[in-house]
Structure 1
Amino acid sequence: MEEKWLTWAKQIQAIAQTGLAYGKDVYDIERYEALRELSVDILANYTFEGKEKIRLAFADDDGYCTPKTDIRGVIFQEGKILLVREKLDGKWALPGGWADIGLSPSEVAVKEIAEESGFQAEAVRLLAVLDKKFHQHPPEPYHVYKMFIECRIVGGSAAEGVETSEVAFFAENELPELSLERNTPQQLQTMFEFLRNSEKPVILD
């Protein structure tokens, strides 16, 4: 479970953003802007990020506030799982990223696999839809839903991408240091459960 201060900051930000999107009264707008600034102050106080960076990443959106969606492609080969090394932190993750406007979840998974690993793939089935706040990820300003989609390789070959420096398959008991912002050891263990049990139902939350 995420820290209470982070939950509060997100809720304040959501109220402020929605209020700014639909508010008409000039005094209400001022109050919502003050709430948004308060959410930035909370994050700046509890993290090492500067206010301007937080404001751009967290409090610079408009319209009705909704969760972001992170989509991860899950590929197994000979009992091992495909991971890519992220250039940003040098750690390993399932290929994936933010959902793209105009693409379905399956299309995003296939695109991210190609861009980050070099493999051409096709989507097979949805494995899990998780709310990031219920899992052991580092604190972050966004409220994020994570979708894990099993895919199979249909072509291509292993190749680094713009955001990745290495591509490899790992056994369940030989996982490398993971990029916890993107996936946790528990989540990868859950993915291996799907490999062992093809009848395992989709996981929610």
Structure 2
Amino acid sequence: METAQQIKLWARQIKDIAQTGLAYGTDVFDRERYHQMNEIATQMLSFISGKKMEEIRKLLPIETGYSTPKIAVRGVVLKKGKLLMVKEAADGLWCLPGGWCDTGLSPSQNIIKEIEEETGLRTEATRLLCLFDQTKHRSSVTLQHIYTIYFQCELIGGELRNSIETEDVAFFNENELPSLSSERIMTWQIKKALYVARKDSSNIYFD
């Protein structure tokens, strides 16, 4: 891991410790130290990323309680051997449909909702394929620790359309993938998910 990425990782871990300490610590002096730790970690992230402190604070979620990873979902939808993908409005690059998990919904309900919202297609989640620790595999360390769950989903209806989150929606051959949104997904993750999807077994790839 490069030096800058390692510093980002350490800073995020310090922020997590500070958040957990503020959730459970009762001693007034300890709580003051946790606030200081949080501020130091924010300064580290600002320094290493070149962003202003206020930008870092806006990028980081405001959370309380024990610090845990965030959960996202992605859907693998095949039609005549081609893979459904969406062009993200945020960066103009492509990804599998999906997003953050909403509370009140199960992971499979979340991916069904995300696919319909982003593409107009109705699907049924039929199989869990992969669970990736995004921090472990990304080339750059993000400000959040993210687990992403990949589901195989079968088409049951709907019509392709764009949304406020997507500029385009299309099916692609596995060997002709468009430019990917690398902050969200990597080529090898798509290929791993497709490999598991095509295997007639209950094996799941994780980590």
TM over 0.5: yes
Q: How does 1:118-197 map to 2 (within 5 A)?
A: 118-197=120-199
Q: CA deviation at 1:53?
A: 2.3
Distance in structure 2 (CA, Å) of the matches to 1:80 and 1:42: 44
Q: 1:137 to 1:75 in 2, by over 3 A?
A: farther
Distance in structure 1 (CA, Å) of the matches to 2:170 and 2:40: 44
TM-score normalised according to structure 1 size: 0.95
Structure 2 letter corresponding to 1:157: E
Distance in structure 2 (CA, Å) of the matches to 1:123 and 1:196: 15
Q: How does 1:36-185 map to 2 (within 5 A)?
A: 36-58=38-60, 60-185=62-187
Distance in structure 2 (CA, Å) of the matches to 1:151 and 1:196: 13
Q: 1:169 to 1:76 in 2, by over 3 A?
A: same
Render the CA deviation track for 1:52-94: whole Å, top value 9, x for unaligned.
1212332632111110001111101111110000001000001
Q: CA deviation at 1:49?
A: 2.6
Q: CA deviation at 1:200?
A: 6.2
Q: Secondary structure at the match of 1:52?
A: helix
Structure 2 residues not aligned, in runs of 5+: none
Q: Is the 8 A contact 1:115 1:162 kept in 2?
A: no
Distance in structure 2 (CA, Å) of the matches to 1:166 and 1:175: 14
Q: CA deviation at 1:31?
A: 0.3
| Runs of at least 4 residues off by over 4 Å | none
TM-score normalised according to structure 2 size: 0.94
Q: CA deviation at 1:38?
A: 1.1
Q: Secondary structure at the match of 1:75?
A: strand
Render the CA deviation track for 1:83-127: whole Å, top value 9, x for unaligned.
000001000001111111000000000000001111011100000
Q: CA deviation at 1:192?
A: 2.1
Q: Is the 8 A contact 2:122 2:157 kept in 1?
A: yes
Structure 2 letter corresponding to 1:104: S
Q: CA deviation at 1:172?
A: 1.1
Q: Is the 8 A contact 1:19 1:29 kept in 2?
A: yes
Distance in structure 2 (CA, Å) of the matches to 1:31 and 1:56: 22
Instruction: Name the counterpart of 1:7.
Output: 9
Distance in structure 2 (CA, Å) of the matches to 1:173 and 1:111: 28
Q: Secondary structure at the match of 1:107?
A: helix
Render the CA deviation track for 1:142-167: whole Å, top value 9, x for unaligned.
01101001101101011001100100
Distance in structure 2 (CA, Å) of the matches to 1:113 and 1:49: 33
Structure 1 residues not aligned, in runs of 5+: none
Distance in structure 2 (CA, Å) of the matches to 1:156 and 1:137: 36
Tell me how large the CA RMSD over aligned residues is: 1.5
Give the % identical residues: 43
Q: 1:138 to 1:157 in 2, by over 3 A?
A: farther
Distance in structure 2 (CA, Å) of the matches to 1:196 and 1:152: 13
Q: Is the 8 A contact 1:72 1:147 kept in 2?
A: yes
Q: Is the 8 A contact 2:84 2:96 kept in 1?
A: yes
Q: CA deviation at 1:135?
A: 1.2
Render the CA deviation track for 1:21-74: whole Å, top value 9, x for unaligned.
111111111100000011111111111332112123326321111100011111
Q: Is the 8 A contact 1:178 1:184 kept in 2?
A: yes
Distance in structure 1 (CA, Å) of the matches to 2:102 and 2:61: 20
